A = this chain, B = another copy of it.
């Protein structure tokens, strides 16, 4: 069974999950088909996922059949297990917790698209609603402290299936990087009495050089100390510490902003692999005055070396000012058919995809 183990020096939690070794991920070459030889996320193939947890469907359509627009299902190879017990224990200098949690997949549409930019803004909004619904439902389980939403697109970003999907991981501890951010933001708040993210947003909007998009409620920018070329952040202008505090008006706007930001990235970098992660505080009845939720979107262009892994030094050959200018200057136009789309057609023609 999975367990959390804490690095005793830096305090970082790692999930040891030997079960995960069974997932269909060849170590060097990810496959884009499920073990059945077809895409388990396409409409018509619902029987190849575990029974659904939630879906947005047309009237009259029953669960686990066709007719849905967004669908949430359990991850077939979960990093954490809902039936695990917390069981906090020490072992000499070490600490561990049982690998309790929930790991769901949110399928972003019935057709075999691989990007949010292929969808209408309305459909992207529905995906955001599903994120929020699933978080609000799962936070009723008091064992969970944090809900993380992330997305891997493309093999280089760690995706094992091509069909557009996000993942939701509920866990009994706060993920290490979010914890680091919350602690850092608290130190600034203690000293200055303000949210550091609110200060950053104000400074970026005044400076303009790193701004990619500026809508009425959100700002998209390339962070000052970007670790990766073309790294982007999307932050709400209204202070809120958690994603699930989004209002309807904000979701309406975020659907368009997120879609366009991803579209710009895809056009600027010729359809890169990327990771996107929602940084959101741990569940708390109160809003934290010092932490500000945001999206982080990181294209995965080059392999990571020892300098980055081993020492935490990121060497970024593209200044965020350069990246932001390039992303701003992109001419928005529909995608040219990519290799992946051609692959998809072949698979469909050969009857692999129903």
Contacts and interface: CB of A to CB of B under 8 A. Distances in A.
B312 A12 contact: yes
A77 B313 CA distance: 16
Contact of A155 (B16, B203, B303): B303
A196 interface: yes
A46 to B, nearest CB: 25
Do most interface residues of chain A lie in helix, strand or loop, or is the interface mixed? mixed
A199 B20 CA distance: 31
Nearest to A302: B27
Given A175-B312, A303-B158, A10 B181 contact: yes
Given A6-B225, A275-B310, A310-B275, A316 B157 contact: no
A178 interface: yes
A277 B306 contact: yes
Contacts of A300: 303
How many copies of the shown chain assemble into the complex? 2
5 contacts: A14-B226, A17-B317, A20-B317, A157-B303, A175-B313
Nearest to A316: B16
A10 B180 contact: yes
A156 B279 CA distance: 28
Nearest to A77: B317
A12 B313 CA distance: 8
- Which 10 pairs, one residue from A and one from B, show the smallest C-beta to C-beta distance? A158-B305, A277-B310, A176-B312, A275-B306, A177-B312, A150-B306, A175-B311, A21-B317, A5-B225, A20-B317
A93 B320 CA distance: 16
Given A14-B314, A169-B313, A158 B302 contact: yes
A336 interface: no
Interface residues of A, number: 85
Contact of A148 (B7, B175, B307): B307
A226 to B, nearest CB: 7
A27 B306 contact: no
Nearest to A166: B306
A120 interface: no
A200 interface: yes
A354 B246 CA distance: 64
A16 to B, nearest CB: 5
Contacts of A188: 8-9
Interface in A16-47: 16-21, 25, 27-28, 30
Given A158-B304, A169-B313, A176-B312, 10 more contacts: A10-B180, A13-B313, A25-B302, A79-B313, A92-B203, A148-B313, A152-B305, A155-B303, A157-B306, A158-B305
